[in-house]
Amino acid sequence: MTQNQPHPSVEGILAASSRIDPVFTNSPLIEQETANTALGLRLLAKVETLNPIRSFKGRGTDWWMQNEPAGDHAVVSASAGNFGQGLAYAGRARGRKVVIFSATTANPGKVEAMRRLGAEVRLDGADFDAAKAAARAYAEAHNCPFVEDGNLKTIAEGAGTIALEITERLERDGVQLDAIIVPLGNGALLTGIGAWIRAKAPGCKVIGVVASNAPAMKQSWETGRLISTETAATAADGIAVRECVPYALDCMRDTVDEAWEASEAAIRNARDFCLTHYGLVVEEAGAAGIAGLLENGGSLKGKTVATILCGGNVRSENA
């Protein structure tokens, strides 16, 4: 059903940018000379960790909720934590019940945050994709709308407002972007950003980064087939997906130039990099763009590159 949606559009991203709750928009775009020197390129980092849910997910969830008809049924979804917080925040603002399924191994801090924002959180399944299957079954049994991250146009358009803000800022500054490096999990962030960049900065490469231990989306994009993996055992829980999202894959065909993998070591190093050079605590998935550059960025030496630090909800024992 959702695969027949149109792809995210410039018009949708523009509309979203003026209507998304402003607590989520106009985040800082920062640059540090020490980071540039360490990477051998100019890096502009969009900081999405300073809003009420400490991740970019509030953009897409708010825009999706605005475009949905009001109803009495609960909104049902699955989340490793950040998407669920976005839905809970949007639902609370509109008096809409939100039920989130998370894995039994989910970050306890993220689970607590979803509940604090008013979501009913059910722990079901050994990993994210198992929780998603349970959520889908629950939604069907209770006749509730099922919200699948990466599989909905409006969620991708909400995420795409990040690219709009980056290009508008750089246009004012007279800066031309050579590449944008985007963490790749379910695909909403990459496809929303890719839709905007293709239209507004066609000379800029769009590069997605998966965890090496969770390569389903990369392998699906490379082969053109829906690939699933047996496990997705990565510390980067926000991009720990075993199963490709069909709608996102369809959108990626026209908007993505490259897909990179980042090892667990690079992901850990990227977290340290963000703390060392920006003074920011960034969760593993949120730093995947940096991890990709640390491991694969040789071809971009001397170029001007952007990435998104897209989440700051770390496990408390690692903070």
19-51 pLDDT, tens digit per residue, is: 999 999 999 999 999 999 999 999 999 999 999
Residues 174-185: b if buried by 16+ CB within 10 A, e if exposed: eeebbbbbbbbb
Please give the domain boundaries of the chain with CATH numbers for all domains: 2-56+153-318 (3.40.50.1100), 57-147 (3.40.50.1100)
Query: Would you say residue 1 has pLDDT above 50?
Result: no
Total Cβ atoms within 10 A of residue 245: 27
Total Cβ atoms within 10 A of residue 224: 9
pLDDT value of residue 318? 42
Identify the bridge partners of residue 122 per DSSP, sorted by sequence position: 101
pTM (2 d.p.): 0.96
Contact 88, 117 (CB under 8 A): yes
Q: Name residue 136's amino acid.
A: R
pLDDT value of residue 61? 98
Q: Name residue 10's amino acid.
A: V
pLDDT value of residue 258? 98
Query: Would you say residue 125 has pLDDT above 80?
Result: yes
Nearest to 25 by CA among 117, 168, 162, 182: 162
pLDDT tens string 261-277:
999 999 999 999 999 99
What's the whole-number mean pLDDT along residues 134-162?
97
